[in-house]
Amino acid sequence: MLVFRFKPALLRSAISFRLSAGTLARVEDDDSLRWSLDLTRLNRADFVEHRVNGVLMRRIDLHGPEGRHRIGVTVDGPEGSSEAAKVHLDLVEAICASLAEEQPEFPIGIGEYGKGRLAMFLIGVLSLSAAIALGVAMGVSGVSASRAGAAALPMLLLAVLGGTVGWAYAPWHPPLRLPAHAMGDLVQGLRDRASGQPTGSDTDR
């Protein structure tokens, strides 16, 4: 049996999980069972990560017969110094390894999905549209060259950010999926990034 305990956020109490014989359980501090999930009955799994203003938000969503269980962690500060982020990644790796024992090709979605994916797409489109609208407004309003120059870089960054996010989460793009047996490589890459070590692709160059 594997046991994982971490604080999902700075001001939250620690939570505990147990993984044994293909069953994941969320347990309370008094050892009572909050919920359990037979991973062999999993319908879907998604791994999601966001970074906003230096804050890391990472989670794995497990969709079983009784509904969705969302297991996440939020880290404000260097990821490499966060024990919670480390334990959460260990848990993600263990879940995927357990899945891979029975279903090596079980698909793990990477990135937002459903309404979250649509929201990210709309944020990207709105950011890009705002940058274009500001540029047009400045052009027709006769703003001085010095003021236009000062605003050019922020508008360009907003446009690039909006275009990148909008394109990445466009509804017509099929979501990225990895087989459960390949998630170990992804998790190791995230560990290497957190510790400042080069990833495998960097080492091979």
The span from the CA of 58 to the CA of 82, in Å, is 13
Q: Which residue has the higher pLDDT, 174 or 48?
A: 48
**Cβ neighbours of residue 75 closer than 8 Å, sequence gap 6 or more:** 55, 56, 58, 82, 84, 85
Q: pLDDT per residue over 109-120, tens digit each?
A: 988 766 766 676
3-state secondary structure of 194: helix
Q: pTM for this one?
A: 0.73
User: What span, in angstroms and rounded, lies between the C-alpha atoms of 170 and 52?
Assistant: 20
- Please give the mean pLDDT across all residues of the chain: 83
How far, CA to CA in Å, does 146 sit from each of 110, 134, 140, 143, 157?
Answer: 44, 16, 15, 8, 18
pLDDT top residue among 123 and 70? 70
Q: Provide the token pair at 192.
A: 């290497």
Assign domain 2-111+175-200 one CATH number from 3.20.20.80, 1.10.260.40, 2.30.29.30, 2.60.40.2470. Answer: 2.30.29.30
Instruction: Give residue limits of the domains in the chain.
Output: 2-111+175-200, 114-168
DSSP readout, 81-104? G-HHHHHHHHHHHHHHHHHHHH-T
Q: What is the pLDDT of residues 12-37, one digit of tens each?
A: 889 999 999 899 999 988 888 899 99
